[in-house]
Chain A
Amino acid sequence: MNKKNILDQLQNIFRDCFDDENLVVVSSTTSDDVEGWDSLAHINLIVTIEKEYNIKFSLAELAVLYSVDDIVNLIAEKAA
């Protein structure tokens, strides 16, 4: 799957999880840049992504998912 496509699809997930219709994330976005992206919201986000792409992150992967870039790369790898 194309990383550009994944980033486009992620916009909707981020908007739902953070309930912000105007939110736009780019690959360099990290939790510091998004209001409400704390450790609790992070869990919600990760599980929603797992369900959307029907993938399951491993324990090791979960431990290093910090930015949108990390997320896009891992989805591209797992959903390939």
Chain B
Amino acid sequence: MFEDILNYPFGVETIHRKKRSIKKELLKATVLSGRKIAILGGSSTAEIKDVIELFLLKEGIQPTFYESEYNKYYEDVIFDIGVLKDFEPDIIFIHTSNANIQEFPQLTDSENAVQDKLDAELGKFTSIWEKIKAELSCPIIQNNFEMLLDRRLGNVEAIDFRGKNNYIAKLNLALCEYANANDSFYVNDINFLSARYGLERWHDRSFWYSYKYALSYDAISTLAHSVSSIIKALYGKSKKCLVVDLDNTLWGGVIGDDGIGGIKLGKETAIAEAYTSFQTYILELKAQGVLLAICSKNDAKIAAEAFDHPDSVLKIDDFSCVKTNWEEKHINILEIAEELNIGLDSFVFIDDNPVERDLVRSQLPEVTVPDIGSDVVDYISYLDRGNYFEPACISTDDLKRSEYYQKELKRQSSKSRFEDYGEFLDSLEMEAEIVPLEPVYYERACQLINKTNQFNLTTKRLTLSELERYSVSDETLTLCGRLADKYGDNGLTSVIIAKTKGSVASIDLWLMSCRVFKRELELAMFDVLIASCSARGVSEITGHYLPTAKNSIVANHYERLGFSLVEEESNGGSIWNYSIPECYENRNKHIKIL
């Protein structure tokens, strides 16, 4: 019910009018992770905060907020950081706008004078960011600046160095440069959002003069959704897989009826061109690391032929999983989830048929099913405006993901030919490198820490800066493992973080990507952990298992390794202990350690 209101195109009127009851409804979800978010505003933020809360609750994040006093975003950080420190924010959102620009160029200014103003403006903002980095080290989300509504100089306003919109464009470029040079700094692109929304509708003078909001009431949802999308991406809650229907979704017409010559694709007609554009958009999603899958009621052989159409941008090999049969779609999607080994909440399903959409929505509520309508001209907008696949940044591992899954299918097919599992493992010619966390691995390790749900003993999440602190501490022992085999490099796939005190090491975090389940990498990690412990004079290891809805696969992990049970907790968790024997024999038999 409220799902639709919070999906593009947002039901803005209802969002504001019924925000209290929507919130109550969303709070009923069982799995919510708490996050502390500080909003530092250069204008009013109350309603923005309320709407961000709704969007985050929808993503399973329950925020607690700190709000700066009206327009005290600078003072709060520079002169009064203690209050913020006490709040211990997980994320700081700085909501500023062009109303917060201190000084614009004057027509009498020289080029140098304008540059000085620019430096002063950036200096003010940089001092905020640097202070946060030094004192709080939490991720910052910073608005860039939207264009001014009025332009006295006409087109020259954008072009001349004395033009105000020219000045704003320079500020925005400088913000991007800062973001590129600083991890944990993210720009909320309100310059783009306001342009797409329409500056005339984004700005509302009455709302500014009366209530000091720097944008119109109706635009608040667009802003809040964008901020929530960044937060969602930071915590690894962006979607991972797009499942598509075929007939009238990827091409016009029905391949089984119209045949390869009859379906609409290419440049010949308006409709054909629209379908081709949509396919191109999807292919670009794949390039960015989104997995593609097909779920269509069709004859498998006939459906596959459509991809041989000379104007089909997508080829059958672009899909990591193909289900073309007459089974119900929700059953097929469940199978896709199992084969790709990712959770249902990572899926977006698109289909032109509202009946199929409703069925999937009702049977698999975790799957996101945007109401894309039935006109191909709208498909891209619905998929794009949802920000479903928003990445926090572009990482090279993401770019290789589809390639990896295709190799995984090959691995699975060779698995069936071996009698003995050990023999199969040997045939993979696996090699692992297991070393303490180093800076080059931080980004990938952080990504793993925030999105691994299954093989994850404590599901402890860390921001990049927290991870860095762990890694450089003397009282912490960190290990990360990369696994390669004859089909390719799986990259960094396992992380252990343990705190050491005297002769005892306690494992705070142990996780492994589902990519390398059942490869005995966990045994290799344990061997190296034992060696590192011994080298430090540690003789006792304690482990903690904290159950979640998704990590039952590791419920017996410590028991299997030979730990003894110390305590069972009321929440189903357990604490384990292991004394390192004098002669420890390595457990791993199939992976060569480099």
Contact = CB atoms under 8 A, between A and B. Distances in A.
A16 interface: yes
Given A40-B46, A43-B47, A62 B210 contact: yes
Interface stretch (B10-18, B29-37, B98-106): B10-18
B206 A56 contact: yes
A71 to B, nearest CB: 15
B17 A16 contact: yes
B217 interface: yes
Nearest to B22: A19
Contacts, number: 33
Given A44-B47, A48-B13, A51-B13, A19 B20 contact: yes
B16 A48 contact: yes
How many residues of A sit at the interface, in one of the four size bands? 10 to 19
Main secondary structure, interface of A, reads helix
Contacts of B79: none
A59 B16 contact: no
A19 B13 CA distance: 15
A72 interface: no
Contact of A17 (B17, B46, B211): B17
B206 A44 contact: no
A37 B12 CA distance: 21
B16 A44 contact: yes
Interface string B162-205: 00000000000000000000000000000000000000000000
A65 to B, nearest CB: 10
Interface in A17-57: 17-19, 40, 43-44, 47-48, 51, 56-57
Interface in B1-49: 13, 16-21, 24, 46-47
Contacts of B21: 16, 19
A59 B20 contact: no
A60 to B, nearest CB: 10
Given A40-B47, A48-B13, A62-B206, 15 more contacts: A13-B17, A16-B17, A16-B21, A17-B17, A19-B18, A19-B21, A19-B24, A43-B47, A43-B211, A44-B17, A56-B206, A57-B206, A59-B206, A59-B210, A62-B210
12 contacts: A16-B18, A16-B21, A19-B20, A19-B24, A43-B211, A44-B17, A44-B19, A44-B47, A47-B217, A48-B13, A58-B206, A62-B206
